[in-house]
Amino acid sequence: MILFFQLFLFSLLSDYYSQKSDDTNCFDLKFSKLHLEFFLDEKKISGFNESTFIKNCASDTLIMDLSENMIVDSIFLCNEKTEFLFKKNKLFIPIHHFTNNYFNVKIFYNGSPKIAKNPPWKGGFVYERDNSNMHWVGVACQNDGASLWWPTIDDVSDEPDSLSVEMVVIEPYFLVSNGRLDSIVQLNNSRRKFCWSVSNPINNYNVTFNIANYVHFSDSLKTTYGKLDLDYYVLPSNLNKAKNHFSQVKPMLSFFETKFGPFPFYEDGYKLVETSYLGMEHQSCISYGNQYKNGYLGLHPENIDFDFIIIHETAHEWWGNSLSMINHKDMWIHESFATYAEALYVEEFYGYQEMLNYLNYQKVKIKNKQPIISSNHKTTDIYYKGTWVLHTLRSVLNNDRTWFSILLNLQLEFKHKIVTTNDITKYIENLSGLNLESFFFQYLFNSDLPVFDYFFDENEDGMQLHYRWTSSDDDFSMPLLVTVYESNFNWIYPTKDWKSTPVYIKPDKFKVAENLFLLETNLIK
């Protein structure tokens, strides 16, 4: 018996490694149904996840992820109980006896999911109490993976086309999940089952639940694309505050639609749900924990007093939830664009100069310690450097009509799609008509900023500016605005080779447009 299981395990593990290396798209997840009951006092859950897959390769083992502190009771393949192995956070399920490429797997499990140490960054279940000492529970798992609480495949390159969530909790608690609330079913022992459904593709880390003594209010937004339902779930003591504070939502959504196209999930609606942790872009169920303060928990540049969590997390509905990265190393696609959406929001509602002030407020946080494209993001450069890369690109294009058309068309082209960094950069190159290879290579794949070297000398023709780029790529040749004349900025076209141009300004009055470009300057004396 032991030998049999060793052989079985060996064959499954070998299959795992060959599957990982040869074909990561082996199993295409089409649909997931998550059914769970919550035992709040015991901090336990029990239930099942049923997933439907299409098999695209010869592998005879399905491998799913689940935190090993959970207990797997049984697994059914197309309604037949099956053997499985559960080892090192992996579930190995043999499917060799299936000839059908379309199959479903139902995994019954239970346990106590790990508790978040510092949500939403160090994730897990979040158990808090409201000011009436009632349970207030949620989950955040973007960095940890959804497998910390349900069996799934922790791979952002595949999303189910739709999702069903059934969750049972004791009265009087209300449970809010993603998508639409289809029904609330009264069960025995004062329990209620909340049935939610998501009609669009969804990252598994976006799947969430929120349990509290929530009160609900709703609104709707009439747009050129139809009627968007807005639902808000907040703690009873914050109802009046929330009704006032969430008035930022409608003008924000209208503005984002003008810049990024229609809200990507009309079928599922828009929701803000009050959480004890700061926030997370859970699709169509945004976690809101900014405590009804302006800025970031009250911190913001002078005069720029929007609620950071509402604007940033909502921007992720476009940048991250609809247009989604294929791999965590491409996370700038989510965070740089969502952070840049904040700058555009400031430009719209506070003015162009305040937008520059806002960007400069974020600029000091840029570290340049590792490239933006990285398998392990150790700094916040995917946010602050990323937004500055996009701001710089807008300056390079020098044509706002083209720039905003690029942002809009990225959204339309890649709506509900999973993309690589290359998909994004090539698309921008095509629409701009510019060769931006060295631009993206410098800013995304290198940690250092390009350095603008320059010095002055005077000859019989007057004062001369000498300049060049020092950068990681010899082809880097970003045009730049500098003060050739005292009164205004003019374009120059530095390359890696020294160039010179007459300037009609004293050297100590010379300026590089550092409000518009992310770079280092180096005055050679």
Residue with Cβ nearer Zn ion (70 or 202): 202
Extract the tokens encoding 165. 């969530």
Q: Return the structure tokens found at 374.
A: 């990285």
Q: How far is the CB of 126 from Zn ion (least distance, A)?
A: 18
| 451-459 vs 520-523, strand pairing mode | parallel
**How far is 486 from 198, CA to CA, in rounded Å?**
58
Q: Which is nearer to Zn ion, 141 or 478 (CB)?
A: 141
| Residue 316 exposure: Cα atoms within 13 Å on the Cβ side | 26
Q: Looking at this protein, which amino acid is placed at residue 103?
A: F
Nearest to 323 by CA among 338, 313, 333, 312: 333
Partner residues linked to 150 by β-bridges: none
Between 47 and 320, CB nearer to Zn ion:
320
Nearer to Zn ion, 211 or 338 (CB): 338
Judge whether 124 and 114 are in contact, CB under 8 Å: yes
Cβ neighbour number for residue 522 with a 10 Å cutoff: 12
CB of 251 to Zn ion, least distance (A): 21
Residue 70 or 325: which CB sits closer to Zn ion? Answer: 325
Question: Interface residues for Zn ion in 315-344 (CB under 5 A)?
Answer: 335, 338
Query: Residue 335 CB, nearest distance to Zn ion (Å)?
Result: 5
Residue 525: other Cβ atoms inside 10 A: 4
Contact between residue 446 and residue 468 where contact means Cβ atoms under 8 Å apart: no
Binding residues for Zn ion, how many (CB under 5 A)? 2
Question: DSSP letter at 105?
Answer: E
The least distance separating Zn ion from the CB of residue 313, rounded to whole angstroms, comes to: 7
Query: In this complex, which beta carbon is closest to Zn ion, that of residue 274 or of residue 335?
Result: 335
Nearer to Zn ion by Cβ, of 335 and 381: the residue is 335
Q: Least Å distance between CB 446 and Zn ion? A: 23
How far apart are alpha carbons 414 and 469 in whole angstroms?
34
Please give the single-letter amino acid code of residue 461. Answer: D
Question: Where do the H-state alpha helices sit in 284-399?
Answer: 308-318, 332-350, 352-363, 384-397
Rounded to the nearest whole angstrom, what is the least distance from the CB of residue 312 to Zn ion in the complex?
6
Side chain identity at residue 161, one-letter code: D
414, amino acid identity: F
Counting every residue written for the chain, the total comes to 525
In angstroms, what is the minimal distance from the CB of 316 to Zn ion?
6
* Block residue for tokens 């989604």: 324
| Number of helices and strands in the chain (H, E) | 10, 28
- Rounded Cα gap, residues 516 and 353, in angstroms: 11
Q: Which of 163, 153, 147 is nearest to 34 (CA)?
A: 163
Query: By three-state DSSP, how is residue 250 classified?
Result: helix
Interface positions, 215-234, toward Zn ion (CB under 5 A): none
Minimum distance, C-beta of residue 280 to Zn ion, in the bound complex (Å): 8
Q: By CB under 5 A, what part of segment 337-376 binds Zn ion?
A: 338
CB of 400 to Zn ion, least distance (A): 25
Q: Tell me whether residue 211 or residue 326 sits nearer to Zn ion (CB atom).
A: 326
Contacts with Zn ion, 51-80, as mask; x by CB under 5 A: ------------------------------
Taking the complex as a whole, how short is the minimal distance between the CB of residue 382 and Zn ion, in angstroms? 9
* Nearer Cβ to Zn ion (390/478): 390
Q: Which is nearer to Zn ion, 282 or 468 (CB)?
A: 282
The vertex-199 CA angle with 215 and 309, nearest 5°, equals: 50
Q: Name the residues that contact Zn ion, by CB under 5 A.
A: 335, 338
